[in-house]
């Protein structure tokens, strides 16, 4: 038997999100969010987001509600990203908010939803300037 004490999950390879209208969701992620489109398979669309692949898929069985994980998209500066997506028609839950601050950085977030009401977020970790 091998020693598994060192094992730990360290990287996400793909995130799957359930969508009801694949065509509308594909257009939103590709055209509004600007994510690189990879390919489409029956009932699924795939996008690249950094090192992570995002799969949009229609559920195989009807489901009540639309349970989903929240995808947090890392951006350098949340304000211009927010303004760009807002100009493209994204409806945000609120303006960017400072959600946490340490002595060396601020964490900013802005939440929005895709056409299937999946919750998404922009996140920006901003280093604080230190006095010299």
Over the stretch 69-107, which tens digit does the pLDDT of each residue have? 788 898 989 999 999 999 999 999 999 999 998 899 999
- Contact (CB, 8 A) for 112 and 93: yes
**Token output for 30:** 């590709």
pLDDT of residue 8: 74
All CATH 3.10.180.10 domain ranges of the chain, comma separated, are 7-59, 68-132
Please check the confidence at residue 60 and state whether its pLDDT lies above 80: no
Q: Which is nearest to 56 in space by CA: 3, 84, 20?
A: 20
Provide the percentage of residues in the chain whose pLDDT is more than 90: 59
Vertex 78: Cα angle to 75 and 84 (nearest 5): 95
Q: Which CATH class is domain 7-59?
A: alpha beta
The CATH architecture annotation of domain 68-132 reads: Roll (3.10)
In degrees and rounded to multiples of 5, residue 5 shows phi and psi of -70, -20
β partners of residue 54 = 15, 47
How confident is the model at residue 59, as a pLDDT?
A: 80
Give the other-Cβ count within 10 Å of 114's Cβ.
21
pTM value > 0.75: no
pLDDT given for residue 25 in this prediction: 96
């Amino acid at each position: 038997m091998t020693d598994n004490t060192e094992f730990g999950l360290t990287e996400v390879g793909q995130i799957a999100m359930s969508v009801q209208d694949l065509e509308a969701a594909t257009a939103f992620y590709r055209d509004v969010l600007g994510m690189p489109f990879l390919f489409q398979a029956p009932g699924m669309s795939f996008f690249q987001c950094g090192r992570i692949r995002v799969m949009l898929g229609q559920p195989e069985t009807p489901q009540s509600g639309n349970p989903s994980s929240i995808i947090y998209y890392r951006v350098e500066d949340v304000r211009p990203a927010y303004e760009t997506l807002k100009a493209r028609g994204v409806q945000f839950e609120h303006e960017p908010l400072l959600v946490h601050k340490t002595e060396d950085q601020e964490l900013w977030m802005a939440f929005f939803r895709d056409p299937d009401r999946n919750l998404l977020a922009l996140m920006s970790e901003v280093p604080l300037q230190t006095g010299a």
